[in-house]
Every structure is written in structure tokens, then in C-alpha cells.
Chain A
Amino acid sequence: MSAVAHAKPAARSTSMPRALRRRRLLVSIADHSLLIAAAVAFVAPVVFVLLTSLMTNRQALSGDLWPSPFRWQNFLDVFHDAPLWRWALNSFLYATLATVGLLLSSIPIAYAFACLRWRGRELAFMVVLVALMLPPQVTVVPLYVMWAKLGLVGNIWPLVIPNWFGDAFAIFLLRQFFLTIPGEYLDAARVDGCGELRVLTRVVVRMGKPAIAAVALFSVLYTWNDYFLPLLYLGENPSNWVTSIGLSQFRSLHQVQWNLTMAATVLVMLPVIVVFFLAQKAFVEGVTLTGVKG
């Protein structure tokens, strides 16, 4: 809380002696030293992965930290060594089909929990929460048997279809947000002669856009990152895999080297990071929504 740290924008003016300016910069760095150290530790893994992805195989195995020469060719070789496009397409299908179904089913369910009154509502919501908390391993064996008997093991349907019947996390998050919509808006629409479906689509969905966007983002992210269910259901044919499974198998597929593995890792991380920067606000709002009101 020293006066020095409270440097105002005006202090940047050229009239300030250079020595003083440098001292202020140093004080500011010292003030943030812990934060900067932690930030460096958080960035370092990505930097090293990136650097390794540009090395030759020999270099990646040598303990060198800096690539020389930079081998951009790695990012092309990766596509020759593994059906990355195929995996990305499968992941994209999984994410799209799951997310669309999840939104279409979960929004009305959350609306019923937040905006309609009925007997047993609180109890039913407790059941949703319990379903949210239980590890998936609890129900996985009978579910696998069920999908196997339906002959659907080996493709993405066992991953996609459950999302069409409401997802506990989405219901939870949407309900929390819908509860904050003032009841007067809903009643006004009802007085104007809107049925509940119209109230939902005209009022709640429009006002709930931030929460719906957050749920959609989380769902896309979850499906892109999902490993347990694809491992269980996608079988041994590489052309059915999604990126997460493909990446985990990448090294064993063709005895591929670390540099190419890291290049593939970078490529799998990239879409997530791009999506984050495009929708940063929705992400942070969504996370906050889950925590603050939980």
C-alpha cells in the first residue's frame, strides 16, 4: 500500500526522471513477484511442449531445451502418422450431437425446476444433485451391458444419446440462473396469454442466454476432453476413435517419437484455447455461476 505502488497514469509522462520510473517498475515487479513466479510456472509446461514439438527426434531425446533448427515439418508429419482429421471429425460429431441434444432437453427441465410450481419439486431436485455427485463408475457396468445388447458398442451413440435426456450438471446450472430471472417477467408474459412453452422460448431463453452459452461451452469442452466413455465404448478400430483416445494411443501406434507426440498434443490443445479466447466471458461467468450459488 505504499505511495509508490499507486502510480497513476499521469506518472508515465516523460517529465518523470528515468531512474524514478525504473525504480517504480522494479517495485511493481517485487510487489508481484510471487504472482509472476507462479505465472511462469503455469506457462512453462506449455512452452516446453511447444518447443519440443518443433525439435527433430534426435534433439527431443537429447535433453536440449531449445530447438535448432525449428522443424515446422513435424506438424505436417503428424497428419501422415495418424488419422488426426478422422479423430477430430469424430470428436466434432460427438461434441455437436451431444451438446445440441443436451440443450434441447435440459433447458425445459431446468425451466420446470426453476419457474413452475409442483409438488415434490425440491425432492426431485435433490435427486438431480445426487445424480450429479455420484461417480460414473457406479453405473457403468450395467450401462455397458445395455449398450452391448443393443449392438451399439463400437460407435459414438452410447456417448451421445444419454445427453438427449437431460444432463444433471446442465440442469443444475441453468436452474440456478433461471431462478434469478424476476418472476414478474414470466407472469407478465402469462397474463399476455403466453403458454408455458412460449414463456420459456420468448422470455426465459432470451434472458438466460449467458447461462445457456456457458452450458453449451462446458458441454463442448467436456465432450472434446472426455476420455473415460470413449475408452469404454469406441473399441479398437482407430477410425472410430476421438481425439482424446487417439492422442493417448499416438505413441504406440507407429512407435512415434516425442517430438511428433508433442506436436499432436499441441494440435489437440489448440481448439480449446482458441474457443476460450473467443468466449472468455461466458466461461468465467459460467464457472462463477456454479460456485457462488452452490
Chain B
Amino acid sequence: MSTTAATEAGPAAVAADRRRARRGANRRRRLTVLAFLSPWLVGFSVFFGYPLVMSAWLSLHSYDLLTPARWVGLANYRYMFGDDPQIWPAVSNTLWLIAVSVPATVLFGFGIAMLLTRARTGAGAFRTIFYLPALVPPVAATLGFVYLLNPSTGPVNVILGKLGIEGPLWFNDPGWSKPSLVMLGLWGVGTTMIIFLAAILDVPKHLYESAELDGASALQRLRWVTLPTISPVILFAVVLGVIASLQYFTQAHVAASVAAGSAVQGGSTSTIEIGYPEGSTLFYPILVYNHGFRYFNMGYASAMAMLLLVVAFAVTAIIIWNSRRVVHYQGDAR
């Protein structure tokens, strides 16, 4: 690859000269790589490596930002696994989100992508309609949905009322608040949809043709041609969905505070009930945020962060590991 050395070497060049030149080129190349990478090396150490280590260190301490950190050993972890009354609701709400929201998003995104591939007219316009909500700022989308699903005067319940159905209390009912958030998530399914659409359109036509020749029905073609071919993309969507669920924050935080009728800026007051209504929207990241930045239990928040780290790692690893059996990668590794 050292083309500079090769082109500059005249016929009289001796082996030693060449070796020295190559060594110089190698050194220069290494320096180039280092120079190009340097922002990442600094950024990764300062904004990722260091806080990761500090998180582990803080999780063994009691710290409130004002007084020096005090060593407490495993007390934070003992409280987390034994006594914290809020942690199990937070964990189970997050698990609920993963179990319901991820499959719903993947199925819905896939379904709409399939519908779009069958559209003969206006496919571009339809694609825009389904994609745009994914770009709407989450705070704006959440405010819109809280208004739409407003129990007494929101358009959804007004229309349901006209049809003779008594609508639920949506964001104000502990049984309906999480499904309402899932609806909000499905409205923003556009990114997943576009990824599926591209993958479905990428399936080689000849596979369908030969399946059709063999007498495969539309459903069989879906099962044995489309799904296996796009399985890497399905895996990608599931992994992304799980990761997004583990850090689900904005929509739950805004919906809870707006639905509770008193939005509150972080850290200032504590008039709002966490996870309104009745803790039903208390997800794990919300609890981390509250411990760290509203109660300033930064040691405890760090212990929670360590658990999140382990879980995020494990979940991603398990999914990718298991997928080897199910996911079909096409021959070429681009």
C-alpha cells in the first residue's frame, strides 16, 4: 500500500534505503491515523470512559454534589434490590414497554411498509404522511396527544361519545396511560417503516417469481421469501426498539407532568407526582433522573445506572446471540 515509497524509489535505490523509507512511511501513516482519531480518543475518554468508571465509583458512595462523597460500600445496591419501593414498579413498567411497545412498533412498521409496496398511486405522498410524524419534536407530539386524549373535552373522546362509546381517561388512568404512550409511539413509527420499506423493495424479484412458479400463495411468499430475506432488518428494528425502551424518557416525563396539570422544571419543586397517574408512567430512566437530579442521591442514581448498564449490555448481547439461529444473512458480506 505504501505507494509513495514505490514511486519515488529510483533504479539506484538500495534495500536499506527502501526499508528506511518504508519505516518512515509507516510512522507517518500511524501519525495520520492518530491525528484523525484524536478527537474521538479525547471525547471517548472524557465523555464515556471516565464517567463510566466514575459511575461505578459513585455507586459505592453517598454523594449529593455539595458535601464530599462518603464511602457506603454496597449499601446503595442493598437498598436497590431490597428496600426501594419504587424500583420494582419502574422495572416492571420498563419491561411492559419492551414487551408491548417493541413488537407493536415492529409489526405496525412492517404492516404499513407492506401496504405501501402495494400502493399503485400516490406512494410518495403516502410515504411522506407516514414518515413525517417521526420527525415531529417528541415534546410537541406528546402535548398534542395529551390534548387529543384529554378525557372530557379532547377530540378523541368527543368523537367516541358521538358514536355512543364512553372513552377511557387515557393519560389520567393508570390502566390506560401506558397504552396511550404506545399509541403515541406508533404514530412516530415512520423511521422503522422506512427501513422496512427499503428492505422489502430490496428483496430480489427472481425469488418471488420462482416461488410463484412453485405455486406458493401470497402468504407463503411472505413467510418463505420476504421474512427470511429481511430478517436482519427485523433484528435491527428489534434491537433499536429495545434500546429506545431502556432509555424511554421524554414522552413519559412530559405526558405525566402535563396530564397532571402542573408541569415542573427539573429539580425545582416536587409538587408533581412521579409517574402520574399512580406511578403507571414511572419508567426506569425517570427514576434515575429523579434520584440523581431531584433528590440528589447521586450515589444511588449511579448504582441504578450500573444496573442499567448491565441490563443494556445483556439484552443487546442476548438478542444478537440468539439471532444467529433465526436471522438469515445473504451470502455477500458487503
Task: Pick from B126, B159, B334: contact of A39, CB below 8 A.
Answer: B126
Contact: A248 with B143, CB < 8 Å? Answer: yes
Closest chain B residue to A38, Cβ basis: B112
Contact: B194 with A49, CB < 8 Å? Answer: no
Q: Mark A123-166, 1 if CB is under 8 A from B, else 0.
A: 01001101101111111111111101000000000000010111
Interface residues of B in 272-293 (CB under 8 A from A): 284-285, 288-289, 292-293
Binds A, one of B11-19, B97-105, B220-228, B246-254: B246-254
Contact: B55 with A108, CB < 8 Å? Answer: no
Contact: A249 with B29, CB < 8 Å? Answer: no
Given A225-B138, A272-B135, A287-B195 in contact, is the A35-B3 Cβ separation under 8 Å? no
Q: Mark B283-320, 1 if CB is under 8 A from A, else 0.
A: 01100110011000010011001101100110010000
Contact: B266 with A48, CB < 8 Å? Answer: no
Q: Mark A58-100, 1 if CB is under 8 A from B, else 0.
A: 0011110100000000000000000000000000000000000
Contact: A118 with B30, CB < 8 Å? Answer: yes
Chain A residue total in the interface (Cβ 8 A): 99
Q: Mark B104-141, 1 if CB is under 8 A from A, else 0.
A: 00000000100110111100001111111101111111
Task: Pick from A109, A142, A148, A283: contact of B51, CB below 8 A.
Answer: A142
Residues of A within 8 A of B301 (CB): 141
Contact: B40 with A138, CB < 8 Å? Answer: no
Contact: B128 with A280, CB < 8 Å? Answer: yes
**Least CB distance, B293 to chain A, in whole angstroms:** 6
**Least CB distance, A280 to chain B, in whole angstroms:** 7
B257 within 8 A of A: yes
B81 within 8 A of A: no
**Least CB distance, B297 to chain A, in whole angstroms:** 10
Binds B, one of A11-19, A207-215, A261-269: A261-269
Contact: A137 with B33, CB < 8 Å? Answer: no
Contact: B236 with A49, CB < 8 Å? Answer: no
Given A43-B129, A166-B39 in contact, is the A28-B236 Cβ separation under 8 Å? no
- Docked Cα-Cα span, A145 to B29, in Å, equals 38
Closest chain B residue to A230, Cβ basis: B266
- Docked Cα-Cα span, A105 to B36, in Å, equals 8
Residues of B within 8 A of A46 (CB): 133, 144
Closest chain A residue to B125, Cβ basis: A39
Task: Pick from A127, A136, A228, A258: contact of B147, CB below 8 A.
Answer: A258
Residues of A within 8 A of B298 (CB): 141, 145
Residues of B within 8 A of A174 (CB): none
Contact: A252 with B1, CB < 8 Å? Answer: no
Q: Mark B37-77, 1 if CB is under 8 A from A, else 0.
A: 10110111011101110110010000101000000000000
Task: Pick from B55, B195, B266: contact of A288, CB below 8 A.
Answer: B195
Task: Give the secondary structure class of A's interface.
Answer: helix
Contact: B191 with A135, CB < 8 Å? Answer: no
- Docked Cα-Cα span, A13 to B4, in Å, equals 67
Residues of A within 8 A of B118 (CB): 35
Task: Give the secondary structure class of B's interface.
Answer: helix
Task: Pick from A52, A124, A179, A292: contact of B198, CB below 8 A.
Answer: A292
Closest chain B residue to A200, Cβ basis: B36
- Docked Cα-Cα span, A249 to B139, in Å, equals 10
- Docked Cα-Cα span, A268 to B237, in Å, equals 28
Residue with the highest number of chain B CB atoms closer than 10 Å, among A117, A139, A164, A268: A139
A residues neighboring B (CB under 8 Å): 5, 28, 31-32, 34-35, 38-39, 42-43, 45-46, 48-49, 52, 60-63, 65, 105, 108-109, 111-112, 116-118, 124, 127-128, 130-131, 133-146, 148, 162, 164-166, 171, 179-180, 187, 190-191, 193, 195-197, 200, 221, 224-225, 227-228, 231-232, 236, 243-245, 247-252, 258, 261-262, 265, 268-269, 272-273, 276, 280, 283-284, 287-288, 290-294
B residues neighboring A (CB under 8 Å): 1, 3-4, 7, 29-30, 32-33, 35-37, 39-40, 42-44, 46-48, 50-52, 54-55, 58, 63, 65, 112, 115-116, 118-121, 126-133, 135-141, 143-145, 147-148, 150, 152-153, 155, 158-159, 187, 191, 194-195, 198-199, 202, 232-233, 236-237, 239, 243, 246-247, 249-250, 253-254, 257-258, 262-268, 284-285, 288-289, 292-293, 298, 301-302, 305-306, 308-309, 312-313, 316, 334
